[in-house]
Structure formats: structure tokens, C-alpha cells
Structure 1
Amino acid sequence: MRIMAFDYGTKRIGIAVTDPMQIIATGLDTIHPNLIIDFLKKYMLTEQVERFVVGEPKQMDNTPSQSAPHVKGFVNLLKRTFPETPIEMLDERFTSKMATAAIMQSGFKKTDRQNKERVDTISATILLQSWMEQRRF
């Protein structure tokens, strides 16, 4: 079964998944928040998802960031729609900066580097990879 991670934003949600053996995290897509539930229902018809990992937005002093209420609403929506799928929160500080740095080092053209959807998907992938690494120890 796969693990699915979300980098939630009010304009876009970056999504990443593991392979079925939960060895590799891969960026899946970037979806508008209004379309996420339909996307997930369709995806979960063909793929088994063991759990969701959602990035928890925090400020440097460990207090919730301004986007925390939006993420909480998203988590509640996931709970209502997929009550059988456990949800874990994981500190997402620095994932966007790490994603931007990874894109800068990747050799993408400037227009590709400015693609915010790519940043969101890579952020979700970094979040999922971090979750997987924490589980290994």
C-alpha cells in the first residue's frame, strides 16, 4: 500500500506518493483545493493508500503559521471523506525552500524553475521522504 503526502496551499496542493513497497517518494501532481477530493476518490479506485501525511505549517518559534487553519480544514475534510485512512501531520518548515533549492540545482530552465506547481509537488515529495526517513529509525 502507498503513503500519500500533501503540501497544502489555498491555491494548489502538492501531492506525492510512495511506491507500493514504501521505498521511494515520488511527486504525483498538483491539484487545486476544490478538485482534491474528486482527484483522491479517482486515484484510490486503482491504488491502495495506507495513510495520508499532511504538512503542518509552523513558524520558526514552533507556533502555527497563518495557513494552519486552512490545513486544519483540509485535514477535517480528509477525515470526513476517507474515515478509514489514518492521517499524520509532519512539520513542513523549510520544505518549500528545500524544493526551490533542489530545482535551482537541477538545471531546469528559468521558466521551469519559476513553476510554482513544480515547487509544490517537490515540497510534498520532500515531506514524504522526511516522513519515511523518520519511520526507518
Structure 2
Amino acid sequence: MGRILAIDFGTKRTGLAVTDELQIIASGLTTVLTKDLLKFLVDYIQKERVELFLVGEPKQMDNTASESETHIKPFIEKLEKTFPNIPVVRIDERFTSKMAFQTMIDSGLKKKQRKNKALIDEISATLILQSYLYAK
């Protein structure tokens, strides 16, 4: 069994989370600059077996696509072209950033640490992955 890799795509930074090989536990992996994302994924997949990409799907409250979707779709096309044997699944990511911030508060992080947007992106990717695993 391979890992599931979740992607919380952003125009500047992208948060990544991954499961263990048994697909039981979701853990934050890292946050990378979006311009370096495909290179990072190529390097990662040379070392680890990934079975599925999970890409967050931002939606408005009325269930329509968010404007950031215009940046995500071209990325997904590149992802599918680069890794044709790894399927891509989209998952609703509404509220993950707010939930990530609340998680940081609940875990006792200081105010200065909570301003770390890269950490918020990584936690958001982990929440996306956890919600997928729960629904599985």
C-alpha cells in the first residue's frame, strides 16, 4: 500500500500532509514554495510510494468554486501529466484554514508562532487528509 499525499495549494505556499504506508495516520509533511512544488513532489515520489494525491477544493459558501480554483486547475493538469499513474482526488477544503488556526490555539502555541502561515498551510493539508481518511 502506498501513501496518500494531501495538497493545500496556495499561490505562494503549499501545505503538504501524508499518511503512513497503511493509510491510518495523517501527518503534516511540510510547506513548500508553490513555484518549487512539482520539483519537491518528483523528489519525494522517488523516495516514497504515493498511491493517491488529494487536492483541496476551495468553495464559496454557496458551493460554487472559489476564485483560487483558477490557479489550482493548471497545477492539477501539470500534476496529472507528471504523474500519470497516480490518481488525483479533490476534497472540499472549506474552513480548513480557520480550523488549522484554532488547532494552533488549542495546542497552546504562542501568538508569535500562530502567525507562521507556513505552519497553518501544513496543518490545513493535514486536516484535508484527516477528513478524507474519516470518510473512507
Which band: TM-score by shorter chain? Answer: over 0.9
Contact 2:12 2:35 (C-alpha < 8 Å) held by counterparts: no
How far apart, in 2, do the equivalents of 1:33 and 1:92 lie? 18
Report how many residues are paired: 135
Q: Which amino acid aligns with 2:49?
A: Q
How far apart, in 1, do the equivalents of 2:34 and 2:110 lie? 28
CA offsets 1:14-52 (integer angstroms, 9 cap, x no match)? 000000010000000001111011111111111000000
CA offsets 1:59-106 (integer angstroms, 9 cap, x no match)? 000000110111111111101111110000000001111001000111
Q: Give the % identical residues.
A: 53
Tell me the residue number matched to 1:20: 21
How far apart, in 2, do the equivalents of 1:11 and 1:33 lie? 5
Greater than 4 Å deviation, 4+ residue runs: none
Unaligned segments of structure 2, at least 5 residues: none
How far apart, in 2, do the equivalents of 1:134 and 1:75 lie? 22
Q: Which amino acid aligns with 1:50?
A: E
Three-state SS of the structure 2 residue aligned to 1:118 is helix
Superposition RMSD in Å: 0.6
Matched, 1:108 2:112: no
How far apart, in 1, do the equivalents of 2:67 and 2:41 lie? 26
Tell me the residue number matched to 2:46: 45
Tell me the residue number matched to 1:58: 59
Tell me the residue number matched to 1:127: 128
Tell me the residue number matched to 2:86: 85
